[in-house]
Amino acid sequence: MNRNQNLQKLGEQAYNKIEKINGELFTLTYGAIVCQLIKELDSLDEVNNQLDKMGYNIGLRLIDEFLARSNLGRCRDIKETAEVITKVGFKMFFGVTANVANFNPKKQSFLIQLEDNPLIDFVELPPQYKDKLSYSNLLCGVIRGALEMVQMKVVCTIKKCPLKGDEITEIKVKLIEILTTEIPVGDE
């Protein structure tokens, strides 16, 4: 078995073992949050930011469970990180498989392609939101938050979304820098 197949298997095993919850509850709750934010905030940009922020906070916490359950060591490079996020991360937490595409070693960027996006079931976007609302921005935040905890600062953006008429969901991830761990003064 090659490494990717191994990762896939690891993702499946982790998903089988993890405590699960009704997916509809999650999707509907998320949908209600998005609606509420649209009502409360002044612009769709602010809604996108807030969704990203919520995702970021979730990612900061989720990484602990990910590391504990996957038992994977540090990734060698961003390419490996991409495979681990898609094959293990998405499978473990959302039960869906994702693919890596357009890996660009020079720009240190890649695309995550999702055929099943757990956030968008039963959702229809009114036309006035189609251009500007990044409905699945929570996922961008989750990835950004989780990677920051393993010292990778990234920028994530939704590139494609079925709610806007695309076939799949596509998230672009670009590495900005590898953070160095600073040990606080007085800590050993």
Partner 1 sequence: DIAETCFEYLNMELVQYFFSTATTEAANYKLEKLGIRVGQKLAERYTKDRPRFNEKIDIIKFICKDFWIELFKKQIDNLRTNHKGVYVLTDSKFRWIVRLSTDTNQNTKTEAEKYVVFPCGIIKGALESLGVQCVVKAEIGTFPACSFTIKIS
Rounded to an integer, what distance in angstroms lies between the CA atom of residue 149 and that of residue 166? 31
Residues whose CB is less than 8 angstroms from the CB of residue 3 and which lie 6 or more positions away in sequence, other chains included: 83
Among residues 22, 128, 180, 181, the one that binds partner 1 under rule CB under 8 A: 22
Q: Write out the binding residues for partner 1, residues 111-140 only, by CB under 8 A.
A: 118, 122, 138
Mask: binding to partner 1, 138-157, rule CB under 8 A, as x and -? x-------------------
Inter-residue contact 147 to 92 (CB < 8 Å) = no
Q: At what angle do helices 3-17 and 44-70 cross, to 10 degrees?
A: 100
Q: Is 126 helix (H, G, I), strand (E, B) or coil?
A: coil
Query: Nearer Cβ to partner 1, position 50 or 81?
Result: 50
Inter-residue contact 119 to 132 (CB < 8 Å) = no
Q: Write out the binding residues for partner 1, residues 70-109 only, by CB under 8 A.
A: 92-95
Query: Nearer Cβ to partner 1, position 3 or 61?
Result: 61
Note whether 16 binds partner 1 by CB under 8 A: no
Binding residues (CB under 8 A) for partner 1: these are: 15, 18-26, 28-30, 32-33, 35-36, 40, 50, 54, 57-58, 61-62, 65, 92-95, 118, 122, 138
